Every structure is written in C-alpha cells, then in structure tokens.
Amino acid sequence: MKAVLKYVLFLLLFIAIITSLRPTITFANTEEATEEIRITEWQIHPGTDKDSQTPPADGWITVKENETELALPEGTSSLWVKVELPVNSDLRTGLLVNKAYAQNVSAYLDGDRVFETKRNHSYDVNRFVIPLGRTANETLYIHLVNETGNIGITGIILGDFSQLYKSMLMSDIDNIILGAAFIFIAALMFICMIFLKKVHVSGWKSLSLIIFSIGCMLIFYSPFLYTLNEEYGSIYATSFDLTSNLFLPALFFFLETYFGRGKFSIIRIFKFYALSLMIVSTICLFLNILTNNAFYNVYYFISTAMFALGVIVGCLIIIGILAVHSFKRQKDAIILSAGISFFIMFTVADIIQYYSQSRNYEFMYWKWGIVCFVFSLVVILGRQIVLNYEKVVAYSRQLEIYNNELQRSEKMDMISQLAASVAHEVRNPLQVTRGFLQLLEEKSASNKEKNYMLLAINELDRASEIITDFLTFAKPQLEHVSVLNIANEFKHIGSILIPLANLQGGQIRLNIPDHLQIHGNSSKFKQAFINMIKNSIEALKNEGRIEISGHLEDNKVMICIKDNGEGMTEAELAKLGEPYYSNKTKGTGLGLMVTFSIIEVMQGDIVFKSIKGVGTEVIVTFPVA
C-alpha cells in the first residue's frame, strides 16, 4: 500500500508539470497559412429580441478589446455583435471566437446564416470557428441569446480555418488530461480499497470521491466536450452538476475521519448539511429534467445560492479548524493548510492576471492549486496509514515482550516452587552428612583420608550454597526494608571484591555520590550486586577494569557496572536470567536468577548491554527514596 501512495504522489506531480505547459504543436501544411489577424474592435447591440434574425439598423455601441467590459442594461437576454471583416482573398479563411457566453448562437454573413448552435442546458460557454472564405469589406453579425443574463463575447481572431480549429481544440486539452488523470487515480484508489483494513477504508473512500469529483468537474466544465459533441451537452452539464454536488460531502467526510467531529460537532453538522444539500439538489435536478425545466428556478436557487453558501461557510469552518489544529502543531492540519494556501495563492495569481488583462486572460495557474490541494490530502492519508502501521508494529513488539515476560514469569514461578520444596528436604540430610564427615576427619590418622574428608566437606558446603540460592530465588521477599545509602553499600561491597579483582589482575573504580538513597534490604542488595560484579571479575582479561558509577535521573537512581571483559553475543544476552544458563564451566545460572529476583522485589529494573570482545555494561534502576 505504501507503493501505491508513492505512485499516486508521483502521478500527481507529473500531471501538474504536464498540464501547466500548454502544448505548442505545428501541423504540416503544403500551402502557406493565412496570416492571423486579431480583431480588436467590434460593435454590440443589447436587447431582448430572442427570436429576431434581423440585425437592428441603429443603436450600436462600439467596444474595444482591451477596454473595461461594458455594463449591459438590466434584463438583457440577447446581444447582437457586428464585426467588420477586412479584405481577404483566401478561401480557407475562418473566424475564431474564443469565448461567447450564450445558450444560443447564430452568425450571419450577407444575410445568410453561416453558423448556429442551440443548447437546452445551463452551460453557456461557447468556443467556435466560423468558415468565411473570401471576404471584401463585409460585415459579420453574431446573435447571442442567454436567458440567465450572462452574455458577452471575447477574443475574435481571423485566420486559416483549419489552424484556428486545431488551436481551439488544443486550448482545452490540458483540462481533459488533468481531469482524466484524476479520475484514473480515483479508480485506482477504489480498486485498492479491497486490500485495505477496515480502519483505513473511510478516509481512503472519501479521498477517492474528492479526487473523482474534481476530475469530473474539470472535464465537464471544459468547452472541449461541448465543442466536439454539442448533441451531448445536456448530459455533460448534468454530469457536472452531479459531481459538483458530491464534492462538499466527500470533503467533510474526509475531515471528520482525520480531525474528528470538531467542537460542538460542527464538522459532523456541516457534513449532514452538505449531504442533505446533495440529495435535495439531485432530486430537483432530475425533476427539472423530467418536467422540461419547470423547476429550474428552484433548482437554480439550490444549486447556486445554497451551494455557494455551503462553500463559503464550509471554507470558514475548514480555515477555523485548521488554524486551531495548526496552533496545536498537528502535522495533518499543517499539511492541509499548506495545500489550501497553495490553491488560494495560485487562484489569486490567476485573478490578478484576469483583471490586469481586461478579463481576456484564460485561467491556468489554478490547476497547480488543485494538484497541491489533492497532493496534501493524499499525504495526510499516507501519513495516517504509515502511523497506523507503525502502531501495529510497536504493539506487536510490546505483545512479544509481554509474552516472553509472561513465559519467563511462569517458568520462574514453577521453578521457585520446586526449588523451595527440594531445598528444605535436601538441606537437613546434607547438614547431618557434613557433621559425620567432620567427626571422621578428626579421628582419621591418615593424611590421605583427611584430604578426602575435607574435599567431601567442601563439596557439601558448595551444595549448601546452591540450596541457599534456591531458597533466596524461591522466596526473595525483603524481611527488613530500610533506607539504603548507595555509597555506603558499595564501600562494603568494594572491601570484599576489590582484593579479588586485584588477584585477577584487574581494578575496580567506584564513583558513587553520597546523596543517592533507595528503599531495600541491605543484605539482599549486597548479594545481588556481588553476584554481578563477581561475574565481571571472572570475565576480565589481563589488566582489566570495572567501573561502577551512579547518578540520579528522572527521579530514579541509576547504577552502572561497566567492564572491558570478554563480552557476550546477542544470543547469550537473550538467555541471561534463564534457569540453569551460565557461561562458566561450573556455573549453575542461579546467581543471576537470584539477582533478577532481588532487583524485581526491590521494584528495580535491570538492563544488560554487551559486545563480544569489548565488554559488558549493566544498568540497574531503582526508585529514589
């Protein structure tokens, strides 16, 4: 799934780069193309004569391309445009109208209709090329009709018909590519949902719907489709309305998934508002279609005024939520804020260009903003999936550690019960046997027999020490608990073990501050640390050293024992503390078992770190007294 996210992000970046560059294509032509002439001045005549096919005789208003757009009288539903054509002898001449805002368009030359298009839907952006042929100071009349009042014309170019037609088609192809790519990404994400766990499906699905709706809006709002297939215009317009209705609910479903319901459940409330608006708008849309626009006013109010209100309020809610979460340094909010900021920045850049060029500028930077916004949503979703994955991995590790500790605890409990029962039964016979051996040794006249007796007594003493360790391991409870001064305890331990270390050719260095204190039993404390330090002494090489230090950290006493002895492998470290495991030839493993038990009873923790051939470090932590 991480690979899919990487491909989606790469594809979005690639699309942004490709669609931001308008293609410049040169078409082969055996004949010299007609030079393009930009018409910069024409005349208009606003009115309400929707069905008139005759241009008015007077009342014309001159309009220049780079001047401020003329405000039309209120109630204008039709507009005549008069264009004076220059002398042109080329039969391939055509006239490109870059944008004509109208539902019905007719063009007349010398009283003959040379172009006509009629629409039964609300999409009113037209882009077309009129074939003219030879012209000799003729006048072209274009009649625009639009019941919504949005009416006008911009960008008139005279030139080679085929070149103008190809240029018209290529001008909107980037919107189709970008929209199709978004739809492809959404389809890919829908397919990938079958591989997701249930916890990720909600966010993934809502993001897929957001990308799908944006892709459809880019395609169905482009003049490209309406120019090529005018007969399907009502289907395109209906598809645009349906997919635009889907955008707001999908966006707030996504926000609720990653930011919760919000204060006073504002995200959830607005999500249901957007969902209700989508349902009502869709119902009105189909009623309007079935009744031949009988409910157009109702539908127009819901799909424009209510939708615009939803967008404005929704934007304010999103900005407020992102501001609150960004101040809390929540990364998802910061990422989404960056995406929205880029979208606003690119849109503002387009608007500035639009007004600075007398509204003849065609928006192109906003597509970068769309890509940045979608990119931020994909990054948020990817972060959530990665974080959830990491949580699962961390939980699995904790569960494994817990299971290992549980198994060790059960094993230790079983062994301690066995050790307690066996130790009590074995100790008494051993003491009796030792007493009789001492009597025999005293009465023996032979030195050889005395040596045998002494050897037997020493082995019985060793067995008694092992039994004592068994009992300590089986019942490590502290009988007398007091406040222990760590420095004093280690002075006693040092007086016992420093001579032993010197005999091995090693040194022990103590660095324990006087103020460190813990709660515990003095004898048990000494027993535990003597076991560990003896192990370090036995692991020393020639001129080895053992450093014992202590300090206070986070209200805990940290004691560190570090040597430069033989060290241990990872496998050997993992087995430390297990019953009967020892690196020594005559070791039983009980010493470390007893040490672990004592430290655990004193509410401490013990950690071993070791590198083979370098040395071992033991860190013991106790709560401060």
Q: What pLDDT digit, counting tens, does each position of 476-523 carry?
A: 555 678 889 999 999 988 888 888 888 878 889 999 998 899 988 888
Which of 71-75, 294-298, 426-430 bottoms out in mean pLDDT, i.e. has the lowest? Answer: 426-430
Question: Where do the DSSP E strands lie in 233-370?
Answer: none
pLDDT at 22: 45
pLDDT at 15: 52
Are 469 and 594 a contacting pair, CB within 8 Å? yes
Query: Amino acid identity, residue 216?
Result: C
CA distance 346 to 118: 35
Topology adopted by domain 482-623: Heat Shock Protein 90 (3.30.565)
Tokens 């066995």 appear where? 418
Give the rounded distance of the alpha carbon of 107 from its chain centre.
54
31-49 residue pLDDT tens = 455 678 888 899 999 888 7
> What does the DSSP 8-state code read for residue 85?
P
Query: The dihedral of CA 339, 345, 349, 351: what is its sign?
Result: positive
Residues 6+ apart with CB under 8 A from 91: 133, 134
pLDDT at 584: 63
CA distance 577 to 408: 9
pLDDT at 373: 81
Model confidence band, residue 295 (pLDDT cutoffs 50, 70, 90) = confident
Residues 6+ apart with CB under 8 A from 403: none
CA-based end-to-end distance of the chain: 51
CA distance 114 to 248: 43
- Which CATH architecture fits 2-21+174-387? Up-down Bundle (1.20)
Query: Amino acid identity, residue 282?
Result: T
CA distance 110 to 89: 16
Model confidence band, residue 548 (pLDDT cutoffs 50, 70, 90) = very high
Model confidence band, residue 362 (pLDDT cutoffs 50, 70, 90) = low
Domain ranges of the chain: 2-21+174-387, 37-170, 400-474, 482-623
Token pair in block for residue 463: 């067995």
Whose CA is closest to 465, among 540, 527, 529, 408?
A: 527
Model confidence band, residue 23 (pLDDT cutoffs 50, 70, 90) = very low
CATH number given to 37-170: 2.60.120.260
Model confidence band, residue 24 (pLDDT cutoffs 50, 70, 90) = very low
CB contact burial 313-335 (16+ within 10 A = b; e otherwise): ebeebbeebbeebbeeeeebbbb
pTM: 0.57
pLDDT at 107: 92
Phi-psi region of 294 (alpha: psi -120 to 50; beta: other; left: phi over 0): alpha
Tokens 């032509």 appear where? 29
> What does the DSSP 8-state code read for residue 263?
G
87-101 residue pLDDT tens = 877 778 899 998 888
CA distance 417 to 410: 11
β-bridge partners, 607: 619
